[in-house]
Amino acid sequence: MTQFSPYWWKDQAQYNNSDDVPKKADIVIVGAGYTGLSAALTLSQAGRSVVVLDAEAIGFGASTRNGGMLGSGHKISTDQALRQYGSKIAAQIHEEANASLAFTTNLIKENNIDCELQICGRLRTAWTPQDQIEMSKNLEKLKAIENFNSNMIEPELMPNSIKTDLYFGGQLYEDHGAVHPYKFHYGLLQLALNAGAKVFGKSLVSKVKPVSKDSDVGFKVFTSNTIVQCNQVLMATNGYTRPSLSKNLSRRILPIPSYIITTKDIGVGRVQSLLPGGHCMVETRKRYCYYRATPCGRRIMLGTRAAMHSITPEQALPTLRKMLIEIFPSLIDVEISHCWTGYTGFSFSKLPSLGENQGIYYALGYCGNGVAMAPYLGHKAALKLLQPSVNHTVFEKTPLLTRPYYYGRPWFLSFVSAIFMGHDLLDNYRRKRSLKKI
């Protein structure tokens, strides 16, 4: 029977802090995911007193619900970045994407975080021959900016990586990897705690108010049962940013649901026969299936867009199962052990951002690529709080945008789901045309 909760949560430790929330701190961080904990670690190591507050139990959000793919991607191409930001910033965006992967990988290795890290590579698969051509052209442009360990896989070599007839080649990112996301989050939590940060779950922040007295500086952070006075505040809530807490940020971050399944235990041999390369996999089509073996090597995990708006895992399950069988028809009789959902934070620019509004700092907008980028940008956010006058990252130059019709509640996402159904039909049409030409 399918369990409608994250597979990653199974048999994992849960952190609870029974202490009282301090009345004062140098810095309050709202959100205890990868971003907030990484920032707390850096700030605590710099000697600041840090309180991290989360509305839910620690580890409830996307940091423990994601697919655990550790990569350097973002949602805009080199050409898009060039048109939008110019050549210098476009180059820096690519360079820092690679830097985020190196930072998070080193963070895990240097601190011996037990999160089942695998440097297994990630293969981006071409849904059509044209996708393969475009990826190859983009790779040349990326390597002209900064050489990195990636290469094209021709169609005839794809069986070495995956046993399916769906794809027309791919691009392999050799240095990408995979983690157990809950274990990574828990390890990062322990580092922050050991450095001196105070972390509290079930502490819903209702309001952040600047101190009004002329003799004082800083903010008052209100929760349901206490008020914390502090000098600085960092918002690290990403896809869980509430309009009631920040109208400004909630207008700039779209909470887009992600849906994931895992198969039951099908054995190491069967998993390896389907994924002989051992890579994480992600597609070029807008349906955007992504999948991998679980760390034990005995199950396959798959995520995809079941809807752009929020539906229940029970409603999403048939769509996810259908996509799994489309890729691997031999799994038609395999049971699904877990199915779950969670919110990613999408920005309208399709890039993350580090910034400040009315004295409150934020690091948000990972667009589904947060496993490497969120710890990195959390670290950069901490540096920004320590040295506000210094530019620490190119993502200070990618401001969060909004739209006139969006006020923090994405009423339009059900319509967007219908639009993406049209994209799915178009993708399938493109593929069928390509097959006819072969």
Average pLDDT of span 376-393: 98
Query: Residue 438: what pLDDT?
Result: 63
In a domain, 32, yes or no: yes
Average pLDDT of span 280-309: 94
Spell out the residues 6+ positions from residue 128 whose beta carbon is closer than 8 angstroms to its own: 168, 284, 427, 430, 431, 434
**SS3 letters across 371-425:** HHHHHHHHHHHHHHHHCCCCCCCHHHCCCCCCCCCCCCCCCCHHHHHHHHHHHHH
Average pLDDT of span 399-423: 90
Number of domains in the chain: 1
The three-class DSSP label of residue 58 is: coil
Q: What angle do CA 195, 49, 379 make, to 5 degrees?
A: 60
In a domain, 235, yes or no: yes
In a domain, 218, yes or no: yes
In a domain, 34, yes or no: yes
In a domain, 421, yes or no: no
Question: Is there a contact between 259 and 339 (Cβ–Cβ < 8 Å)?
Answer: yes
Q: Which two tokens stand for residue 39?
A: 């920032």
Q: Which two tokens stand for residue 63?
A: 């940091």
Average pLDDT value over all residues in the chain: 94
E strands of 201-298, at which residues? Answer: 205-210, 219-223, 227-235, 254-263, 280-283, 290-293
pTM of the predicted model as reported, rounded to 2 decimal places? 0.96
Q: How many CB atoms lie within 10 A of CB 111?
A: 14
In a domain, 360, yes or no: yes
Residue 77, class by beta-carbon neighbours within 10 Å (0-12 exposed, 13-18 middle, 19+ buried)? middle
**Residue 205 one-letter amino acid:** V
Q: Residues 70-112: pLDDT tens digits? A: 998 777 888 888 899 999 999 999 999 999 999 999 999 999 9
- Alpha helix locations (H) across 27-115? 34-45, 78-85, 87-110
Query: Residue 434: what pLDDT?
Result: 77
Question: Is there a contact between 32 and 205 (Cβ–Cβ < 8 Å)?
Answer: no
Q: How many CB atoms lie within 10 A of CB 379?
A: 23
**Residue 406 one-letter amino acid:** Y
Q: Residues 137-163: pLDDT tens digits? A: 999 988 888 888 999 999 999 999 999
Q: Residues 171-180: pLDDT tens digits? A: 999 999 999 9
Q: Residues 32-61: pLDDT tens digits? A: 999 999 999 999 999 999 999 999 999 999
In a domain, 182, yes or no: yes
> Residue 44: beta bridge partners?
none
**Structural domain boundaries, residue 359:** 7-118+176-253+347-407
Question: Is there a contact between 290 and 283 (Cβ–Cβ < 8 Å)?
Answer: yes
CATH number at residue 241: 3.50.50.60
The three-class DSSP label of residue 69 is: strand
**Is the confidence at residue 437, as pLDDT, over 80?**
no
In a domain, 320, yes or no: no
